[in-house]
Amino acid sequence: MSAIPAEPPPFVGLDGFAMLVLSCLVMLASGGLTVLVALAHVVRVGLTAQADAADCHRIIVLGYRLQRGRYLDTVYRQRLDRALILLRRAPTAEAFLLGSRRHPDQPSEAEAGAAYLCVAGVAASRLHQEDRSRHTLENLRHYRTTFGAGADGRTTLISSRFHLARATLMAAGLALHPVPCAAEADPATTLRRPDRLVTEALLLHWYVVGRCFAHWTGHRRMLARIS
């Protein structure tokens, strides 16, 4: 009899929901100042991130939701195009594509990204997929579990400018220290979607409040999820 696969943990879960409430309370108590600080950090990282990486051995590419479950969004295509540039420049580098599928009969984000790079001429042997992850924190945690941390300074993390602040902070919380690399060449693209910046600021605030709470209280279950 085949083993029944373990059910994945809840997407947010009770702890995550509790930290969302706490995050909102912190925002209210600070008069919105804390979320403004988060927003400033998101913007600063987006504007200052380099769209390049030297001496990279591993290239982590964070996925993005596929359109209609199977087509690459412009945001994801930009990330993959940046990875393609780095892979062509460093012939021994390997790419690690992260992202799950929304439905069993559809490709995962990782699978769609690998197919895109293969069509562009990258050998399949240089591409690795992790397709169990449903959000950024799971992306990075499952990457570490599956492939290991890699050498410091030789791992590059590619994502969109609006997303790099949260992604790099979560990576650091998992003891991963990749070099951030922006998908978009022009820093000004950071400011063209203020809705995404605000969303990222709120998500970053939620994560930081939860991480601080977990460390201050020694909450083992939460610490196991974020570190």
pTM score = 0.90
Query: How far is residue 47's CA from residue 97's CA, in Å, rounded to a whole number?
Result: 24
Query: How far is residue 171's CA from residue 123's CA, in Å, rounded to a whole number?
Result: 27
- Coil, strand, or helix at residue 151? coil
Query: How far is residue 143's CA from residue 133's CA, in Å, rounded to a whole number?
Result: 9
Burial of 157 (0-12, 13-18, 19+ CB in 10 A): buried
Average of per-residue pLDDT across 38-51: 97
Report residue 119's pLDDT band, with 50, 70 and 90 as the boundaries.
very high
Query: How far is residue 60's CA from residue 164's CA, in Å, rounded to a whole number?
Result: 12
**At the top level of CATH, which class does the domain 52-188 belong to?**
alpha beta
Ranges of CATH 3.40.50.620 domains, the chain: 52-188
What's residue 1's pLDDT? 36
